[in-house]
Structure formats: C-alpha cells, structure tokens
Structure 1
Amino acid sequence: MSTVARAASPARSKWLLGRVPVGLAMGLFALYFLVPVWWLIVAATKDSGTLYSSFSLWFAGPNRAWDNLWLTFTFEDGIYLRWLANSIGYALIGGTVATLLAAAAGYTFAKFRFPGRNFAFTLVLGGVLVPQAALVMPLFLMMSSVNLTDTYWAVLLPCFVDPFGVYLARIYVQSMVPDDLLNAARIDGAGEFRIFRSIVLPTLTPGLVTIFFFQIVAIWNNFFLSLVMLKNSSLYPVTLGLNVLNGQTRDIGASPDLISVVMMGALVSILPLAGGFFALQKYWRPSLVSSGFTG
C-alpha cells in the first residue's frame, strides 16, 4: 500500500465516523416528522371500523378514499368547504395586509431617524416575545367593546399586526436597500410614497415573500383566537371546524362516518399550505442569504 493510500485511509475512516452518526440522527428526525403525516394519509382512506380495529400503516383502498372525500365535501351541505374557504381568506387577506404593514414599518425603522425610534423598536421586539395565546383574552375584550366579536373582523384585525415580520423587514431593508439608491430617487424628485412603492417593495420581494408565508402559516394555525372570537359555525376556519367535529365523534349516537370526515378533512387542510410552501420556497434562500441568516 502506498504512503498516500495509508494516509487517506485514516482520514476516510474519520470522515465516516463523523458522518454516520449525523446521518442516523437526521434519519430519526425525519421519521419523527414524516410518520404522523404518513399515518394521516393512510387514515384518510379508511372507515371507522378499519381505523379502530387495526393499526396499519397502509391504505384501505382507493374506493374508500374517494368515498371519504365525497363525505367530507358534502357533510352538512358542504360546511367543510366553507371552513376551508374561510381559512384561505383569513390567511391571504391577513398575510397580505400584515406583510405590507411590516414592510412599511421595517422601512421606517431602518431608514428614518425620529424621536423614540429605538424605544418603539424595543416595544416591537417585546411583542415578539409575548405568546400569542396571552393576547387572546385582551383582544376579545377589545373586540367585544366595539361589537366585532363573532365576525370576520374579529379574526382578521389581530392578524394585521406581526411584530416578527416588522423585525425581519427592518433587517431586509438594512441589507438590501442602499441609502445611495434612496438619495438618488429623492434627488430626481420622487416622493417618499413613490420611493416605497417603486423601489423598496420590488427590492424586498424575496424577503416579503418569506414574511408573507410565515404569516400565512401563523394565521392558518391560530386556532385559539378563532375559538374565543367566533360562535357562528359558518365563520369557522378549518382548524376550529375540524376540532368541533372531532369532539362530536365521542358523542353517543354520532355517525360512524364522522371520523372519516375528520381524517380526510385534516388531510385536505394541509394541501394549501404544502402547495404554498413548494411554490414560494425558491424565494427563501436568496432572501435569507441577502439578509445574513446563513448560519
């Protein structure tokens, strides 16, 4: 064996010893996250008898899957589709407004000097640290005082403010929008609103897409806010609606098909988020690199 081969052999062994444990750990983490998703996909193809009688991680058959999908979409005159549309509306409207407000606030904090700027930004950072659940009851009292509970606004208005989005937007503006570009636009006679609309927003597009998707996920999963604010089932988001149905499966005399509706409904409810993830992920890496979040 040559000297080079003898020197390479210990190096390769050391490389393998370092890689194998990491690979095993990552594989276990992947299983931890993927097995529940796989179980949900499998459970959505079963009826109540098959689901409870055996623990199997394989499908019951395509016919039953289509039956469950039809049951879900036609349950109580299509209430599930109403819940799904509500969730999409809450997420898109709330996410869009919150992203634009975060961009405006982040741009203001990053590029303007005004009294109390640092103190105001400290309050924003404090808002990031406050658990959302702790704000639900004060928000309920505020909405109740102006008679907005049990309306779409009771869910949408709290979603318009995103402290973490403001924090990210400030970082993106500082790293992606040079002062020279803004000064050149001012010299050419552009107003501040024109600069923000025509220069800042297009430059921040990758970062804003990231903020937008983070906010969509947060709104989609914000179950507790809807639980406190809403009584009318036609206003429910899909998460709250499925939780109510899941509670009804424990009632005596409940339809055995109800659990199939819950399982298939839960599976369908993750498809919009999954589609958004795959559609928008191409923007994340450029935005994270440009903002300095590269690890």
Structure 2
Amino acid sequence: MPMSATRASATDRSAGKSTSTTILVTAVLVLVAVYFLVPVYWVVVAATKSTQDLFASNGFLLGGTFSLWQNISQVLSYDNGIFLRWFLNSVLYAGVGALIATYLAAAGGYALAKYQFRGKNLVFGTILGGVLVPGTATALPMFLLFSQLGLANTYWSVLIPSLVSPFGLFLCRIYADSTVDTALLEAARIDGAGELRIFHTLGLRILSPALVTVFLFQLVGIWNNFFLPLIMLSDNSLYPITLGLNNWRSQVDRLPAFYELTTGGVLLSIIPLAIAMIVLQRFWRGGLTEGAVK
C-alpha cells in the first residue's frame, strides 16, 4: 500500500474527525447548553410580566403587557431601596471574600508545592479532608462560635467563613506543582529576590489561570450562599441578595405583587455573575496554552 494511502487511512480513523462523531458531540453540547440556558431564559421572560400574566400566559412566551422596566423600578424603590442594600451586601461578601480567599489559596498552594517542610503531607491531607466536608455541616458550629465571640448578626459572621477555600488551595497546589518551574525560582533567588517578591512577581503571574478559576468558584459560591446567612443574620439590612429575595418570596401568599419583585430581583442578581464570567474568561483561554510553545 502506498505511503500516502496509509497516511490518509490513518487520518480518516483519527478521533473526532468522522461526521457521525462530530454530529454526536455537537448534539450533546447543544443539549447541555439548552439545559443551562433555559432557566436563564425563563427568568428573563418572567421578569417582563405582571403577576397576572405570570400565571395566565405560557412561561416561555412574553405576556400581554411588557412590564420589565416597571418591575425593575419597583425592585429598586421598594422599602426605601432595600434591594440596593442587599446588592451591596452581596458585593461585599462575594467580592471581598472571593478576592482574599483566592490570595490565601494561592499563597498556601504555592507554599505546599514549592517548599519542603515537616508535616507538609499532613497539612495537605487535612486540606483534602476539608474539601469533603459540606458547608452545611459546619454552619451550626460556626454560628455557636461566632455567638460566643459576639460576632453573630454582623458582616463578619458571613465574611470570615468566606475567606477560606479548601478546594481553591488544593487546586492552586496542584497547578503550582505542574507549572511553576523550580529552576525559575532558583534563578530569582540568585538575583537577590526575596521569597515574597518571587511569589508576587512570578508565582501569582504564572498561577493566574488557576486564580481566575478559584475566584469565580468562590464568587459564585458566596453570591449564591443561602444557608450560612440564614443562620448567622437576623437584621434585614445585613441580608445578601439570596436571603432578601427569599424573604420577598415568602410573602407572595399575603401579597401577590411580591411575585413581580422576586422575578425582577432574580434577574438583577444574575447580571453581576454573567459580567464576571464574560470579563474573566479570557484568562482561561490564555491558560490553556500554558507551556505549549517553548
């Protein structure tokens, strides 16, 4: 058999090149995309309806009256703009918490990957155990602890638990071990750079794709956190968006107009997460080619 024919045959049998495989993969991806996008579409459509249209019309079609701007105006003005207070609380909890948690995870993961010290494996094993413990299992003990410290029903009671991310530290440790070259660190030490300078100028830059991943996971997790604020907070002005919207939803039986407030609030609450995903995804694309070209 000619060499060219052999190469052509091998090319035809390569994975992912056949038409049937391409159609199958595309169909699976379309189904997954629909699965994630349909709820978002329903929220957008529901936010444009009045309470009457919400129940009288098809859930995936627009109602008789386009009430989006009216609903958003009611959300922002109800109870002296309490939604804006909840929004800023969520920005504080999620933004500050995710940022500090990402930095601490990067520092811990970098240290576990690039330094040798006694008890290193024990520390890493303990962190792995922390990954397996659900947050709901530790919420009640944390509430008792914060109550004894006098920090319950304060910003600190939600913010402090958000500063630790066992999964983020685990991810940073694995990523630093595979991407941060020890020879590069040694060269920096020879040039007279201190350990903190090496970490901040070299380590953080190399770890940026992992840091974006940790930041987004932590941001989404804190933003959508419901159980911890429910236990810790009793002051309405300290609520995050999740707890505030649930407070509105619980009043729909007494006042059906809260349906409009809830759907409009849900729509506004997902906008910051969508913006964060769109803005930060370019760092993921940059990290995919890490080490591809020497």
TM-score of the aligned structures, taking structure 1 as reference length: 0.88
Distance in 2 between residues matched to 1:278 and 1:83, nearest whole Å: 23
Are 1:191 and 2:194 an aligned pair?
A: yes
Give the alignment of 1:1-295 within 5 angstroms: 15-60=18-63, 63-251=66-254, 254=255, 256-288=256-288, 290=290
- Deviation per CA, 1:187-210, whole angstroms, max 9, x where unpaired? 222222222222212222232122
Conserved 8 A contact 2:54-2:63: no
Conserved 8 A contact 2:112-2:173: yes
Conserved 8 A contact 1:45-1:65: yes
Conserved 8 A contact 2:53-2:65: no
SS in 1 for 2:250: helix
Distance in 2 between residues matched to 1:167 and 1:21, nearest whole Å: 34
Where does the alignment leave 5 or more consecutive residues of structure 2 unmatched? none
* Matched AA of 2:172: A
* Matched AA of 1:94: G
* Matched AA of 1:262: T
SS in 2 for 1:149: coil
Moved over 4 A (4+): none
Q: Quick check: 108-117 or 59-68, which moved more?
A: 59-68
Conserved 8 A contact 1:171-1:291: no
* Number of aligned residues: 281
Conserved 8 A contact 1:106-1:173: yes
Distance apart, 1:62 and its partner CA: 7.6
Conserved 8 A contact 2:50-2:65: no
Distance in 2 between residues matched to 1:239 and 1:72, nearest whole Å: 14
Distance apart, 1:65 and its partner CA: 0.9
CA shift in 2, pair 1:202/1:146, >3 Å: same
- Among the aligned pairs, what percent are the same residue? 47
CA shift in 2, pair 1:288/1:221, >3 Å: farther
SS in 2 for 1:45: coil
CA shift in 2, pair 1:291/1:44, >3 Å: farther
Conserved 8 A contact 1:175-1:291: no
CA shift in 2, pair 1:103/1:241, >3 Å: same
CA shift in 2, pair 1:291/1:140, >3 Å: farther
Conserved 8 A contact 2:48-2:67: yes
Conserved 8 A contact 1:94-1:156: yes
Distance apart, 1:54 and its partner CA: 2.5
CA shift in 2, pair 1:21/1:200, >3 Å: closer
SS in 2 for 1:190: coil
Distance in 2 between residues matched to 1:131 and 1:38, nearest whole Å: 30
Conserved 8 A contact 1:172-1:291: no
SS in 2 for 1:145: helix
Conserved 8 A contact 1:182-1:195: yes
Conserved 8 A contact 1:177-1:200: yes
SS in 2 for 1:185: helix
